[in-house]
Amino acid sequence: MASRKFRVHIENLRAQAPVFHITPERYEQVASRNRDCAERIEVSIGWDGDIYDAAIAEADALIGWRFPRDDLTRRAPALKWIHLTGAGVEHVMPLDWLPPTVVLTNNRGVHADKAGEYVAMAVLALNTRLPFYASNKVARRWEREFASTVTGKTIVIVGVGNMGGAGARRCKAMGMHVIGVRASGAPAEHVDEMVKPEQLAEVLPRADFLLVTVPLTPQTRNLIGREQLEMLRPSCGVINIARAAVMDYDALFEKLQRREISGAILDVFEPEPLPPDSPAWNVENVIMTPHVSSDDSERYAINTVELFFSNFRRFVSGLPLVNRVDPMRQY
């Protein structure tokens, strides 16, 4: 690599929203601020596989989301590093396609600031009963429910990574009591109490709000199932910005219809896009957003390239890369 530039191929998908596209203009915007990296890199930018085969044959690194993964050892003999432009990796599991000499990283952290704002919005909306009033508007019902301030109320955050941590910071700033749930049980900033998933039954009955931000893995699938939802108080509001399969939506919708949960704000569904005949459209006391909670329209692609350049400095210095995907944990 000392005798030539480090070759990076960026693979874009037109089917994705423009927020995710790493265009030449966006790449150059970041490169102009990181000339020490950019001068050592030769970049190619493709769309929907138009130059993929030729580019990957000589690439040292690949940046993308969905791309042909078969026989990479033969097709990409120089490949050393793949960076996924999203945080979730369930769409590329299992990693039996990944050559043993190639490092896989993801976009954890890029979403944090926007996700934190969404969490603050969702908590305030649930506290003010906006899902309830949105349903009443459609039904032309005039009902009033009064609410107290969120100060002093308790939020249980299941998954205290970058997004959950950003949510914790926002909630703590509003004077809330923050309980975190994470596999390690390790303490985190802005979290008053931290427990492990096996202690969910101890903390869910205390929740005024439940926020779910965990990655989807075999361990987290249906982590918030019917049994866990039954532990919530009727006054509790639910927020999911993780993956739909982490939560039993059928059980959640039943409780919402019976007003056994005060409301929900959901950003993730299965499948996506949500089909027009999905029963979710008819559930009262829920506000749905189409998987947009954490993707900054102005900064997402920019932050992705910034993260790559930061990791590139580590790569050329022989340091471990941040956000390396653990095949066992699947994130």
Catalytic residues, which ones?
Answer: 243, 272, 291
In sign, the C-alpha dihedral spanning 229, 187, 127, 286 is negative
b/e per residue 82-97 (b: at least 16 CB within 10 A): bbbbbbbbeebbebee
Cβ contact 73:99 at 8 Å: yes
DSSP-based three-state secondary structure for 253: helix
Q: Which residues contact 318 (CB under 8 A, 6 or more apart)?
A: none
b/e per residue 225-239 (b: at least 16 CB within 10 A): eeebbebbeeebbbb
Cβ contact 308:83 at 8 Å: yes
In sign, the C-alpha dihedral spanning 255, 259, 260, 264 is positive
Cα separations in angstroms, 39 against 35, 67, 302: 6, 26, 18
Two structure tokens written together for 71: 């026989």
